[in-house]
Amino acid sequence: MSAEASTQHPAHSPLTQRQEERRRRILHASAQLASRGGFDAVQMREVAESSQVALGTLYRYFPSKVHLLVATMQDQLDHMHGTLRKKPPTGERAADRVAETLMRAFRALQREPHLADAMVRALTFADRSVSPEVDQVSRQTTAIILDSMGLTDPTPEQLSAVRVIEHTWHSALITWLSGRASIAQVRIDIETVCKLIDVTDPGQHTSRTHE
């Protein structure tokens, strides 16, 4: 409950270069193994070996497998946010742009379904001990959605809609990953939930100034 814990994590004090490199190697190995076989294929011993780090060290950097995978997700999300920024969505209405952005993200995940599996399963399986990290992922996701809406100063109603969109996004992803929903179904769900954006702000002409 206290502000910051002990000297456990190297992340708390600025990392030396070698530590930064270790951290990168670990995340890379994690993503690589995840890409192969999903959540189960990310075995801590293998991650340690692949990244040329002792098992104990791996656990010093990431206190659990879930922490590691959530950190991997943060990493990938950062990457994706950058990519999405470069090609902003083109829809007229905010709802369309959000749906477009999420479907674009979804297609990216489809290219590495195993990696997606590992990350999303970790995210939803995370318990309280991972809350800060999961929250960070959530904030990042919110930022992406708000970005695509072109909003800098959302109303509480809009924030609620975004929250629900995120819920739907995660859950729809899970149903797809576990083979219980088709890609088409995911699209429908996303498009459906995006209607909420228009509901929370029906009057506003949310089309962007097409530069």
Instruction: Give yes or no for a contact between 158 and 197, defined as CB atoms under 8 angstroms apart.
Output: yes
Among 42, 161, 201, 206, binds its own copies (CB under 8 A): 161
56 near its own copies, judged by CB under 8 A: no
Distance CA 57, CA 47 (A): 11
Q: Does residue 147 belong to the site contacting its own copies (CB under 8 A)?
A: no
Taking CB under 8 A as the binding criterion, the range among 1-9, 53-61, 143-151, 181-189 that sits at the site for its own copies is 181-189
Contact by Cβ (8 Å): 135, 82: no
| Of 27, 35, 65, 98, the one binding DNA by CB under 7 A | 65
User: Would you state the structure tokens that stand for residue 172, as one six-digit string?
Assistant: 């729809």
CA distances from 72 to 92, 101, 136 (A): 34, 21, 12
| Alpha carbon distance, N-terminus to C-terminus of the chain | 48
| Interface pick for its own copies out of 131, 155, 182, 204 (rule CB under 8 A) | 131
- Which stretches of 113-197 are assigned E, i.e. beta strand? none
* Residues of this chain that bind its own copies (CB under 8 A): 39, 121, 124-128, 130-131, 134-135, 138, 157, 160-161, 163-164, 166-168, 170-172, 174-175, 178-180, 185, 188-189, 192-193, 195-196, 199-200
